[in-house]
Structure 1
Amino acid sequence: MFVRTENFRTFIHLYPIVTAIIALQIGLWLIFLIPVPAFSLFFSLFAGFNAGIANGEWWRLITPIFLHTGFYHLFFNTVSLILFAPALERILNRVLFLIIYFGSGIFANLATYWLEPLAFTHVGASGAIFGLFGVYLFMVLFRKDLIDAANSQVVITILVIGVIMTFLNTNINIAAHLFGLIGGFLLGSIFLRSRKTRSPWR
């Protein structure tokens, strides 16, 4: 379920939404590496900035999901998407996957706005990615037909490690991680509780 055996072309064909998200965040990161003042201005305009949201810049609830501050930040979030997002794109469908991914990310950014000071600034896909784990947690607890015991153990182990590291690491948006997880769990309960679907790996 979480082991990638596809080649590059097959991955793109099977998981076009995941591929598009990854390509967009990598492309934006590369663009903003170019030392052009206008690009720095655009980055600051699209980053999550609570004071900007308070002034009506609502797009800052969405655009930070695609932005990353450094290579390792981008790398770990991209690897997480490659490993854990494809299964949900297949179990759900492309539309529901997008709703859950961006819904979780927006919920995480709203929580950041509510809980952090106005001067707080943040970027990254972590809230949306934790939302995917929220969906997996719902599956582990309430839709065991969609995930086997071995993969359930993987999900719980990584989730526990992720939550612990959220509190141990510095410069982590704790609110985004926790509320992204909650948002994904709630959206999973909406879309999967009575949905007649089966895991494609069974």
Structure 2
Amino acid sequence: MSVVEAIRLPATVDMGEFVSLLRRLNVPFRVSEESGEQVLWVPSAQLAEQVRMLYERYPQGDPEFTVQAEPLRRGPGFVQQLKLSRMTAAVLLVTFVVAAVTLLGTSADTLRWFTFQDFRLVGEDRVMFLALSETLAAGEWWRMFTPMLIHFGWLHLAMNAMWYWELGRRIEYRQGPWMLLGLSLGFGLISNVVQYGVSGASLFGGLSGVLYGLLGHCWIFQRMAPTPAYSLPRGVVAMMLIWLLVCLSGVIDLLGFGSIANGAHVGGLVAGCLSGFIGGLLARRSARAA
């Protein structure tokens, strides 16, 4: 039977409790020693990924952990993924609700409550924005964050939701749900402010600024303190950076596909790289101290 490497750790790391947890869950595995490292092997790549995620959350074999072995052997079903990614799912649920009430950005009456600046329609096609200072003076501070929930069209929503699900649950697995929420709100705030600084009064929105933040966070964190949860598929970072450069070139606008919030993308990416550097540095120091 072929086996797949799930975890490789220094021989000095005590895996005893985690191995006991795997035995209680009836997960098939074996451990070998290679060049001063201990390697945990499992029968399939899918199971290897789940074991890595399990170790990220329960390296000491949490005795209160009650997930059954069968889902691990088969790979997580959709319901189990939702249970392990509650915050990721909650952010997406709020995003879908906003998409519904704004009719994907086509209902001005509801859309104006989520935009960075309040606005009024003048005639059929002219938009008049209220000054940001007036908006904030009125206590409408939520507008600093809510543009991240606005989407214009099904494709815009579907692509952003797919990438948030992919990146968000990795951070939730590795650093917990509240860290994911904090990073999402922080990247949303920064990307919105940067976009406003670049474009001025305008309609913009979407999770893409947050996504570039999450991408930068995982990318730099992984380089500082490697972890299976942040090991992105090959080519993902390169593809996203190439897409960013294409958007910055203005080609998308020239082709008539609509305006791209480049300021939000760049602002989110820079903020994400910074948070990933800090988080990875702290994780590295913590590992050395242990």
TM-score for both structures, normalised by structure 1: 0.82
2:224 corresponds to: 142
Answer with 1 or 2: which has the greater Rg: 2
2:132 corresponds to: 53
1:186 corresponds to: 274
Q: Is the 8 A contact 1:62 1:102 kept in 2?
A: yes
Q: Is the 8 A contact 1:47 1:60 kept in 2?
A: yes
Match status 1:22 vs 2:115 = no
Matching residue's letter, 1:43:
L
1:108 corresponds to: 191
Larger helix percent: 1
Matching residue's letter, 1:54:
S
Q: Give the deviation of 1:155 after TM superposition.
A: 3.6
Identity of aligned residues (%): 21
Q: Give the deviation of 1:150 after TM superposition.
A: 6.9
Q: Which runs of no fewer than 5 residues in structure 2 stay unpaired? A: 1-48, 50-74, 118-128, 254-258
Partners in 2 of 1:52 and 1:19 — Cα distance? Answer: 34
Q: Which runs of no fewer than 5 residues in structure 1 stay unpaired? A: none
Q: Is the 8 A contact 1:64 1:122 kept in 2?
A: yes
Between 69-78 and 165-174, the greater mean CA deviation after superposition: 165-174
If asked which structure has higher relative contact order (CA below 8 Å, sep 6+), I would say: 1
Partners in 2 of 1:17 and 1:148 — Cα distance? Answer: 16
SS for the counterpart of 1:195 is helix
1:195 corresponds to: 283
Matching residue's letter, 2:132:
I
Q: Give the deviation of 1:152 after TM superposition.
A: 6.4
Match status 1:6 vs 2:6 = no
Matching residue's letter, 1:91:
R
SS for the counterpart of 2:269 is helix
Matches within 5 A, 1:50-129: 51-55=130-134, 56=136, 57-117=140-200, 119-129=201-211
Q: Give the deviation of 1:151 after TM superposition.
A: 3.0
Matching residue's letter, 1:88:
I
Q: Is the 8 A contact 1:68 1:124 kept in 2?
A: yes
Q: Is the 8 A contact 1:88 1:97 kept in 2?
A: yes
Q: Give the deviation of 1:122 after TM superposition.
A: 0.7
Q: In structure 2, do the counterparts of structure 1 residues 61 and 149 end up closer, same or farther at CA, with 3 Å as the change threshold?
A: closer
2:240 corresponds to: 159
Q: Deviations over 1:25-69 (max 9, x none)?
A: 1122122229xx9x6323112112385433224322101111111
TM-score for both structures, normalised by structure 2: 0.59
Matches within 5 A, 1:168-187: 168-170=251-253, 171-187=259-275
Aligned residues: 190
RMSD: 2.7
